[in-house]
């Protein structure tokens, strides 16, 4: 059985869901706080959904306004026929800003994949961003052209394979799995995430995200191109790193403080002790204090 309501995290600020059509596809957004023409835009990571920003939103000032986007194929947004291409997320973000951030340059908070998109967009459209908070959205390890034949062969093989997603008997089963994978995650928050990440199908629960997201990408990640975009950013950025995160160590020389300072202009770099990659799930209060300090000191002091 799933956990009872008493065992699930209880939001302090009520989320409001609505649907928007972005570039012909229905997307779900989640709003928190008072209406604003310049809300803070929340961009979730891979296989996540905007709902999971709830913990962080609850720790940030009550007068701040937020809009969280479910990327195409994730959370409550529609799945994309024909597969997914990373550039679509950049265009979806721009379409979202055109609709909900009409009061001036946008303020972005992104985690992992969402942080990557925010950092890229900040260099592609530097005039549209006021500031960015980036939770470990620092790209993937570099690839080499020699990897292309095997990558494309694997992609072709996967096109004929059917999804083997078996699902879960209840969200509580997924919550237990999340806690086993991440001992820093509390059971009430794990239960909240499990409910946000699943949908009932028959007698079981499947992940809300499109299983095709797990297929290998036929396009090699070109880190040099990402760096070219990052270096063109002009807005202040706070890059938060988790002390126990394995993602940074995978980058090797591209994961040092000196490297990050060289590719992200106007960077504030901070490592949070005792947390991993999912820092906003593990210690949202600590993450919130870092964000508030950044906004108060670095952003308000900018010319």
pLDDT of residue 4 exceeding 80 = no
| pLDDT tens digit sequence for 146-198 | 999 999 999 999 988 876 677 899 999 999 999 999 999 999 999 999 999 99
Number of domains comprising the chain: 1
CATH number (domain holding residue 37):
3.40.50.1820
The answer to whether 70 touches 49, Cβ cutoff 8 Å, is: yes
The per-residue pLDDT for 82 is 84
pLDDT of residue 161: 80
Extract the tokens encoding 71.
């990327």
How far apart CA 45 and CA 187 sit, in angstroms, is 21
Contact 292, 128 (CB under 8 A): no
Residue 177 belongs to a domain = no
Beta bridge partner(s), residue 106: 129
Q: Are strands 129-135 and 106-111 parallel, antiparallel or unpaired?
A: parallel
Within a domain: residue 80?
yes
161 located within any domain: no
Q: Which residues of 216-252 are buried (b: 16+ CB within 10 A; e: fewer)?
A: eebebeebeebbebbeebebbbbbbbbeebebbeebe
Please determine, for residue 3, whether its predicted confidence score (pLDDT) is greater than 70.
Answer: no
The pTM is what?
0.95
> From CA 118, how far away is CA 110, in angstroms rounded?
6
Q: Is residue 131 part of a domain?
A: yes
Q: How many Cα atoms sit within 13 Å of 26 on the Cβ side?
A: 8
d(CA 144, CA 164): 30
Res 262 pLDDT > 50: yes
State the DSSP string of 92-139: HHHHHHHHH--SSSEEEEEETHHHHHHHHHHHHSGGGEEEEEEES---
pLDDT digits (tens, 9 = 90+) for 30-79: 999 999 999 999 999 999 999 999 999 999 999 999 999 999 999 999 99
Q: Using alpha carbons, select from 135, 140, 172 the residue that is nearest to residue 275.
A: 135
Task: Give the Cα-Cα-Cα angle 110, 113, 116 (nearest 5 degrees).
Answer: 70
> In 10 A of CB 176, how many CB atoms?
17
> Which residues lie closer than 8 Å to 212 by C-beta, 6 or more apart?
73, 79, 83, 84, 163
- Asked if residue 187 is part of any domain, the answer here is no
Residues above pLDDT 70, as percent of the chain = 96
Tell me if residue 80 falls in helix, strand or coil.
Answer: coil
Residues 124, 143: Cα–Cα separation, whole Å:
22
pLDDT band of 298, cuts 50, 70, 90: confident
Give the Å distances, CA to CA, from 286 to 18, 97, 139, 289: 29, 28, 24, 5
pLDDT in tens, 271-291: 999 999 999 999 999 999 999
Please indicate, yes or no, if residue 21 is contained in any of the structural domains: yes
Q: Tell me if 195 is assigned to some domain.
A: no
| 4-12: average pLDDT | 82
For 39, the domain range is: 7-142+208-299
Share of the chain above pLDDT 90, in %: 91
Q: Indicate whether 123 belongs to any domain.
A: yes
Q: Are 75 and 144 in contact (CB under 8 A)?
A: no
């Amino acid at each position: 059985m799933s956990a009872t309501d008493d065992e699930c995290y209880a939001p302090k600020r009520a989320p409001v869901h609505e649907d928007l059509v972005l570039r012909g596809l229905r997307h779900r957004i989640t709003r928190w706080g008072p209406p604003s023409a310049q809300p803070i835009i929340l961009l979730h990571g891979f296989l996540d959904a905007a709902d999971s920003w709830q913990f962080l939103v609850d720790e940030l000032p009550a007068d701040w306004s937020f809009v969280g986007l479910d990327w195409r194929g994730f959370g409550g947004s529609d799945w994309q026929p024909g597969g997914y291409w990373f550039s679509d997320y950049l265009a979806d973000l721009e379409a979202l800003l055109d609709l909900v951030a009409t009061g001036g340059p946008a303020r972005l908070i992104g985690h992992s994949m969402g942080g990557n998109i925010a950092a890229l967009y900040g260099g592609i459209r530097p005039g549209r961003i006021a500031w960015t908070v980036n939770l470990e959205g620092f790209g993937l390890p570099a690839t080499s052209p020699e990897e292309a034949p095997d990558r494309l062969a694997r992609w072709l093989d996967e096109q004929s394979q059917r999804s083997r997603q078996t699902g879960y008997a209840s969200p509580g089963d997924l919550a237990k799995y999340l806690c086993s994978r991440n001992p820093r995650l509390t059971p009430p928050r794990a239960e909240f995430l499990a409910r946000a990440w699943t949908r009932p199908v028959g007698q079981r629960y499947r992940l809300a995200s499109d299983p095709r997201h797990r297929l290998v990408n036929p396009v090699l990640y070109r880190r040099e191109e990402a760096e070219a975009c990052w270096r063109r950013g002009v807005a202040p950025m706070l890059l938060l790193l988790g002390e126990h995160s394995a993602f940074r160590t995978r980058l090797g020389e591209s994961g040092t403080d000196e490297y990050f300072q060289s590719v992200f202009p106007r960077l504030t770099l901070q490592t949070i002790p005792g947390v991993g990659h999912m820092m906003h799930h593990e210690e949202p209060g600590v993450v919130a204090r870092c964000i508030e300090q950044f906004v108060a000191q670095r952003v308000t002091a900018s010319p």
